Amino acid sequence: MLIVHHLENSRSQRVLWLLEELALPYEIKRYERDAKTKLAPASLKAVHPLGKSPVISDGDRVVAETGAIVDYVITRHADGRLMPALGTDDHLRYVYWTHFAEGSLMPPLLARLLFATAAEKAPFLVRPILKAVSKAVNKAYLGPTIEALLDLIEAELGKGDFLTGDALTAADIMMSFPLEAAGSRGGLGDRPRIKDWLARIHARPAYKKALEKGGPYAYA
């Protein structure tokens, strides 16, 4: 049986949702973040050397990284579900958006969050300097980059209800975390298609069931 090493408020919520959509049996092993640092507990290092989530176990196999986990589950356990047929244009779009989530969208979102957090938590005397740096970096690079990425997604969602057409795929599951993160901080702006897409995925029974099983998830 698949075992999901699940950390609260983390990317591993996507893995639970994927497994619920596929109606696959799995077990959850829960991990809580440190109350002060918000980092994963050291006990996760017993599963994978980096001590991060998500990680899954499948017998003797241990698979880390969300994209790798999704690809593993889809190719080994999905029987062709949640992925367009190989060789089609939809499959090329599927591959693109699956990698876009962590390769293009998440890095600038995370960088903006880290700059803002560092400025807020800095010692009083240097806080104004770090805030000025954060504002300058966001204005010159991070902000325009994120806006361009969100504009691309908004345009793509004009082609169908989901990112590869009218049917949900694992690409939508991969894209959920960064778009939820952006939306939770009011960063989606006037982009009704993305907001409608978020409403559609949040209404899915499998998504709701994954939330019930997974516990705290700040981005939902």
Task: Report helix, strand or coil for 37.
Answer: coil
Let me know: does 18 contact 82? Beta carbons within 8 Å: yes
Burial-class residue 153 by CB neighbours within 10 Å (0-12, 13-18, 19+). Answer: buried
Question: Does the residue 220 lie in any domain?
Answer: no
Q: Are residues 117 and 186 in the same domain?
A: yes
pLDDT in tens, 116-167: 888 888 888 889 998 999 999 999 999 999 999 999 999 999 999 999 999 9
Kindly state whether residues 129 and 143 are assigned to the same domain.
Answer: yes
218 pLDDT higher than 90: no
CATH code where residue 161 lies: 1.20.1050.10
39 with 113, same domain: the answer is no
Q: Which is nearest to 10 in space by CA: 176, 150, 207?
A: 176
Clarify whether residues 44 and 93 are in a common domain: no
Which range (33-47, 57-71, 160-174) has the least confidence? 33-47
- The pTM for the full model equals 0.94
Q: Tell how far CA 162 is from the center of its chain.
A: 16
The residue to which tokens 């077990």 are assigned: 27
- Cα angle, residue 149 at apex, residues 64 and 190 outer, rounded to 5°: 120
pLDDT at 220: 52
28 and 117 inside one domain: no
Work out the end-to-end distance of the chain between its first and last CA atoms, rounded to an integer number of angstroms: 27
96 and 194 together in one domain = yes
Residue 101 has a pLDDT of 98
pLDDT band at 37 (very low <50, low <70, confident <90, very high): confident
| Domain containing residue 10: CATH number | 3.40.30.10
Phi, psi angle pair for 2, to nearest 5°: -70, 135
Per-residue confidence band for 50, with pLDDT thresholds at 50, 70 and 90:
very high
Q: Which domain holds residue 52?
A: 2-83+209-214
Q: What is the pLDDT of residue 191?
A: 97
Assess whether 112 and 177 both reside in one domain. yes
